[in-house]
Amino acid sequence: MRILKFYSQIPIVLASALALQACSSWPSSAGADTTPAPIPVTLALLQTMQPDEPEPGIPLALRDFKPESYTLGPGDNLFITVWDYPELTLPGGDSPGSGHNLRVINQEGMLFFPFVGSLQAEGVTEQALKQRLTRRLERFIDKPQVDVRVAAYKSRWVTLQGAFKQPGEVAITHKPLPLSQAVERGQVDRSRADTSRLKLTRDGATYTIDYERLARTPDAADELYLQHGDRIYLAEQPVRELAVLGEVTSPGIIPLTNRKTSAAQALAIAGGPDAATADPAGVFVIRKEQPEAKVYQLDVSNAAGAALMSQFQMRSDDVLYVAANSSTRLARMLKTLLPERKIESPVETSDIE
C-alpha cells in the first residue's frame, strides 16, 4: 500500500520531532539543525491550510437546462378510457388490473386504437393525444368523452453506473427528474463511493461534479435536471488511509472512508490516547510533502487545543503519532540503560552447618 512506502521515513522524522519537543530536557544531536521542526497548529495556520470552499461549480450547459413538458414516446404504456364504451376501454371484458387494457406505443411511435386505427403518438403530450383521439372517434361516436393517462413511463430514462446499490435505468416521468432524486433512487454505496467524483455524460460530453459539496448547497442538486440519455457514473473511492501510532489504545492503519476526517476523529477511531502514558501536548501529524515531510504539533492539554484538533483535517498517507509523556520516556530509557539483574536472597547463618 502507498502508506507503507512512507513508513521508511517515519523513524527519522519522529526522532527529530520528539527530540525537538524534549529539547529542554534532552541534549540535541549534532545534526539537529537540519531536522524539520514541529509546526505548532494554530487557528491562523488552519485558516491557511483549509480555506473556505467556493460555491460548487455547475457547468453552464447543465445549469441552464430546463426540462420541457413530457411528451410520449415508444414503449410508453397508456390507459385510454372512452366513457360509456367499456368495449373500447376494456376489450374482451378484461379488468383494469389485467394489463390487457393497456395500449403500448410501438417502436415507430404509432398507437393503435379501435375505430381509429394507427395514429402518431410519439412526440405529443397526453392532452394532445386525447384531442387527436377525440376528433377521430367523433366520426363514429357522438360527443365521445376520452381520457388518456400514462400507466408506465418507458420511453425516457437515465442510466446509473458505478458505486450504486441499485444501478440501472431510472425512468423520466411527467415530473422533471433532478440529479438528487436519481442519485437517491440508485442508493449510493457509502462504503465504496467517492461522491466527490460523480461524472455526468450528456450528448457526448462528460462533466465531473463534486456531488458531496453540491448536496450541501441548498437546492443546488434539486435544480440540476436530467434529460433522456444522461449517464451518471459514481466513481469508487481510491485507496485512502492513514496510520495512527504511538501511545494510543489500538495503533494501526485506518481507512479514510469519509472525504473529511479530522485528527480528533482519527484518534477516536484508534481508541483514543493511553491515559497513563500519552503526552497530551505531544500529538504530531507527519505529512508527506516535497522536498521533505512536515511535522505538525497539536497540544490537546487544554480545550482550545482540543478544538483545533477537531478542525485539523487529515489527508491520505498522514501519520498521527501520540508521544509518550516524560515519566514514561524516562522509565523506558532507564529500562534500556539499566538491564534487570537477578538479586539473590542473602544466605541466613542458620542454614550453615
Same domain assignment for residues 272 and 329: yes
- Percent of the chain past pLDDT 90, that is, above it, reads 51
Q: Which of 236, 269, 299 is the last residue of a domain?
A: 236
What would the pLDDT profile of 118-147 be if each residue is shown by its tens digit?
A: 999 999 999 999 999 999 999 999 999 999
Is residue 211 in some structural domain? yes
Q: Tell me, yes or no, whether 172 and 116 share the same domain.
A: no
- Average pLDDT on 242-257 reads 91
Confidence of residue 349 (pLDDT cuts 50, 70, 90): very low
Of 131, 152, 173, the one marking the end of a domain is 152
How many residues are given for the chain? Answer: 353
Confidence of residue 25 (pLDDT cuts 50, 70, 90): very low
Grid cell at residue 126: 397526453
Average pLDDT of span 25-48: 67
Residue 285 shares a structural domain with residue 222: no
Q: What is the CATH number of the domain that holds 110?
A: 3.30.1950.10
Q: Is the predicted pLDDT of residue 30 greater than 80, yes or no?
A: no
Mean pLDDT of 65-70: 91
pLDDT at 59: 79
Whether 275 and 316 share a structural domain: yes
Query: Residues near 239 by Cβ (< 8 Å), separated by ≥ 6?
Result: 1, 2, 316
Highest mean pLDDT among 172-181, 236-245, 333-342: 172-181
Amino acid, single-letter form, for residue 107 = Q
> Does residue 333 share a domain with residue 249?
yes
**254 and 243 assigned to the same domain:** yes
Instruction: Locate 127 and state its grid cell.
Output: 392532452
CATH number assigned to the domain comprising residue 176: 3.10.560.10
Structural domain contains residue 349: no
Question: Residue 55 pLDDT more than 70?
Answer: no
Give the residue from 152, 174, 200 where a domain finishes.
Answer: 152
| Cell matching residue 23 | 529539547
Same domain, 213 and 279: no
Same-domain pairing of 249 and 329: yes
Cα-to-chain-centroid distance, residue 104: 40
Name the domain count of the chain.
3
Q: Does residue 33 carry a pLDDT above 80?
A: no
**Would you say residue 265 lies in a domain?**
yes
Give the pLDDT of residue 15: 52
Calculate mean pLDDT across residues 42-61. 72
Statement to judge: residues 245 and 227 lie in one domain: no
Decide if 231 contacts 161 (C-beta within 8 A): yes
Residue 251 within a domain: yes
Domain identity same for 220 and 255: no
Cα–Cα distances in angstroms (integers) from residue 44 to residues 41, 49, 141, in the given order? 8, 9, 82
Tell me the pLDDT tens digit for each residue of 185-227.
999 998 888 888 899 999 999 999 989 888 887 777 788 999 9
Which range marks the domain in which residue 327 is found?
2-37+239-337
Judge if 246 and 328 occupy the same domain: yes
Q: Are residue 171 and residue 220 in the same domain, yes or no? A: yes
Confidence band (pLDDT; 50, 70, 90) for 162?
very high
- pLDDT beyond 70 at 111: yes
Structural domain includes residue 348: no
Asked if residue 342 belongs to a domain, the reply is no
Give the lowest-confidence range in 46-55, 78-87, 333-342.
46-55
Does residue 202 fall inside a structural domain?
yes
pLDDT attached to residue 28: 42
| H-state helical runs in the chain | 2-7, 10-21, 43-49, 60-63, 86-89, 126-137, 179-186, 211-216, 263-269, 303-311, 326-337
Asked whether the bond before 291 is cis by omega within 30 degrees of 0, the reply is yes
The answer to whether position 324 is within a domain reads yes
pLDDT number for residue 332: 83
